[in-house]
Amino acid sequence: SLCEAGIVSVILPIEPDTAHVTVSPFGSYNPDTDELTFQANASGIYDFTVTAEAPCQTVECDIQVNVAIEQAPQITCPDNFERTVCLPLTDSICFPVEITGSAAEVTVSPFGRYEDGVVCIPISGAGTYPVEISAVNFCGTSVCGDLEIVIYEDLAPTLTVPEDRIISSCTDFNEEICIDGIFGYDPDYGDLTIQKISGPGTYISAEADSGSICFTPESNDITYTFEIELTDGCHTIVESFDVIIYPSNVCETCIEVAIETDTCYVVGSTVPVHVTVNAIEEIGGFDLLIYYDASVMAFLGVVQGEAISEWEYLTYSQESITCGGGCPTGMVRVIGIADRTIPMTHPSPEQFTPSGTMFTMNMRITRDWNVGGLFLPMGFYWFDCGDNTFSDQSGNNLYMDGIILDAFGGVVWDEADEDLFPEENRLNGIGAADSCLVGDKLTPIRCVEFKNGGICVIHPDDIDDRGDLNLNKVAYEIADAVVYTNYFIYGFSAFFINIDGQTAASEINGDGIPLTVADLVYLIRVLTGDVPPNPKVAPMGSKVKIRTEIENNNLSIKGDINYPAGAGVLVFEYSDALP
């Protein structure tokens, strides 16, 4: 064997030493060392004829020499990598490693093995594993050192199922009921599988991580239990919920009012939330108190709806009610009156039995990606007897809650059922107390069906193509930077293709907050090749202090920044009144 082309020597004793030796087709013979030598430029079998001539005799023989020109091993060292595994079920990981050259002895240290182009190392848990791979043969040694493999433990997913649902019926059921609110979440973004393992009906998948149960009840006086199983290939989780079907006078309603949205919305969106009505009895006014979570959404205003477009009075105010810390963080009161007896502006008769949208509340969802995939509830809240009531045209009859439903049609409270919903179990903010019916005045009528609602929030990961601001299927191009810059100048008018999709694509740096100047800076850095796209970083936190100073009628903006900043965006409010 040789490590490169060169001279090959073969021991070939020939006597007498004085014999004349010739080698063909090429090569030479040294009688002093008894060696046949020749130049080998490639691996293979070389055939020679050796002739030895002496005065008394001539001898000839054929010789074959098998020459192997070896190559030193060369390891293509893989990059450091991370891997999420199912622990403790996984006790080793394997990865390919390319080794070229002639056959070599390969060792993996401190622990591991190499076979057929694959290295496997044992793992005992999450952590960083240093690996060194060496290959040795006749011609040399190659070492892949400083390789580090980071092992993460696969985190358990979470499974959200609906709360126990109470559904009222007027007669025996013969129609299918569908229960939404089944959601899975995997913090490792793995593949999820959801299935129903017990209970009637069928699980219907909406997405890989969500779905609903649809079933046809056998009667209206029974409890159905459903068990839902979720697995990510490593962990299996089972959750259950009950659906109770019970007879009620829910069909004997005079007014149906509900909180509804048109579709799901991405984080950061402005959402029209409609309050709809179906009035069986004539009404002349209403007083509604609606709650929302002010930590994840902001109230922007109310717009009068088509169903009461001719009503003469509609006003709203944001309420601040003290109830021992148990009140919702956001409340809006909306009051409407159909006829204020102003000449020539009386509503037409059909406006006294409105059907459709009474008014629309515009709500702004937070930009925080953590609310993505959640349902943000909104609903009716009762603080005193006048809350969430309707009046007839005369003002003599007051209609209040008879039944309250959640956003998915389940019964929150049924005033007519003292067995399931006794007065002593009434929670704060749920319906008008029975004491509201006591007195020597005309008794309010419990006949209004209230249905709560909320906003379904889409996680940007579900709809975005990160970095593709103009949605042309080419991410991280100069046109995307132009669109993003226009947003900071012109606002949402720059997103005329699809506001939700473009908003989601704007979350460039992976900190969970779209539409920030940090995202624009990162997009530009990707364009210039400074950084790779789609990094996994966390927000920097509160490390910037900004202050304003006025000196000689000049406003100065000064700041202390505790990390390398690329850009900033500031919004100022001022009064244009002159002194």
3-state secondary structure 358-383: EEEEEEEECCCHHHCCCEEEEEECEC
Mean model confidence pLDDT for the chain: 86
Instruction: Give the integer Cα–Cα distance in Å for 227 and 215.
Output: 14
To the nearest 10°, report the CA torsion of 206, 208, 211, 214. Answer: 80
pLDDT tier at 271 (50, 70, 90 boundaries)? Answer: very high
Q: Which of 211, 220, 206 is nearest to 175 (CA)?
A: 220
440: pLDDT strictly greater than 70: no
260: pLDDT strictly greater than 70: yes
275: pLDDT strictly greater than 90: yes
Query: Which residues make Cβ contacts (< 8 Å) with residue 217, sequence separation at least 6?
Result: 169, 173, 177, 224, 245
Strand order in the sheet with 193-198: 165-169, 236-247, 222-231, 193-198
Q: Which residue has the higher pLDDT, 170 or 523?
A: 523
Q: Which residue has the higher pLDDT, 226 or 169?
A: 226
Tell me, what amino acid is at 56? C
Pairing assessment for the beta strands 35-40 and 74-76 based on DSSP bridges:
unpaired
CB 117 within 8 A of CB 49: no
pLDDT recorded at residue 217: 87
pLDDT recorded at residue 501: 76
What values do phi and psi take at 578, rounded to 5? -85, 150
* Whole-Å CA distances, 172 to 169, 207, 216, 249, 444: 7, 32, 11, 13, 30
pLDDT recorded at residue 249: 58
pLDDT recorded at residue 461: 62
pLDDT in tens, 333-357: 999 999 876 555 678 889 999 999 9
534: pLDDT strictly greater than 80: no
pLDDT recorded at residue 80: 92
> Would you call the peptide bond into 110 cis, given omega within 30 degrees of 0 as the criterion?
yes
CB 377 within 8 A of CB 293: yes
Query: Which residues make Cβ contacts (< 8 Å) with residue 322, sequence separation at least 6?
Result: none
Burial of 97 (0-12, 13-18, 19+ CB in 10 A): buried
pLDDT recorded at residue 542: 47
Instruction: Give the integer Cα–Cα distance in Å for 446 and 382.
Output: 14
pLDDT recorded at residue 536: 42
3-state helix, strand and coil shares in percent for the chain, rounded to the nearest 5? 10, 45, 45
pLDDT in tens, 72-96: 999 999 999 999 899 888 999 999 9
pLDDT in tens, 192-209: 999 999 999 999 998 888
pLDDT recorded at residue 76: 93
143, containing H or E segment:
strand 140-153
pLDDT recorded at residue 212: 93
Maximal C-alpha separation, the chain: 152
To the nearest 10°, report the CA torsion of 345, 350, 351, 354. Answer: 180
Tell me, what amino acid is at 501? G
The CB density around residue 137, as the number of other CB atoms within 10 Å, is 19
Q: Kindly state the average pLDDT of the residues 257-263.
A: 93
* Whole-Å CA distances, 291 to 359, 363, 383, 425, 429: 15, 12, 11, 21, 10
Q: Kindly state the average pLDDT of the residues 221-235.
A: 91
473: pLDDT strictly greater than 90: no
CB 214 within 8 A of CB 178: yes
Instruction: Give the integer Cα–Cα distance in Å for 29 and 23.
Output: 7
Structural Rg of the chain based on CA atoms: 40
CB 339 within 8 A of CB 351: no
Q: Which residue has the higher pLDDT, 379 or 472?
A: 379
> Would you call the peptide bond into 444 cis, given omega within 30 degrees of 0 as the criterion?
no
Burial of 76 (0-12, 13-18, 19+ CB in 10 A): exposed
Instruction: Give the integer Cα–Cα distance in Å for 12 and 514.
Output: 82
CB 105 within 8 A of CB 114: no
pLDDT tier at 543 (50, 70, 90 boundaries)? Answer: low
Query: Whose structure tokens read 């997913």?
Result: 157
111: pLDDT strictly greater than 70: yes
pLDDT recorded at residue 502: 81
Q: Kindly state the average pLDDT of the residues 300-306.
A: 95
266: pLDDT strictly greater than 90: no
Name the pTM for this structure: 0.54
Instruction: Give the integer Cα–Cα distance in Å for 271 and 276.
Output: 15
21, containing H or E segment:
strand 20-24
Instruction: Give the integer Cα–Cα distance in Å for 579 and 577.
Output: 7
Instruction: Give the integer Cα–Cα distance in Å for 84 and 335.
Output: 55
pLDDT recorded at residue 172: 62
pLDDT recorded at residue 116: 92
369: pLDDT strictly greater than 70: yes
In the DSSP assignment, the letter for residue 429 is B
pLDDT recorded at residue 25: 92
**Region of residue 290 (left: phi > 0; alpha: psi -120 to 50; beta: else):** beta
DSSP string of 449-494?
EEE-EEEEEE-GGGT--TT-TT-SS--S-HHHHHHHHHHHHHGGGG
Structure tokens, 311: 């009503």
Structure tokens, 424: 């002593």
Structure tokens, 318: 């944001």
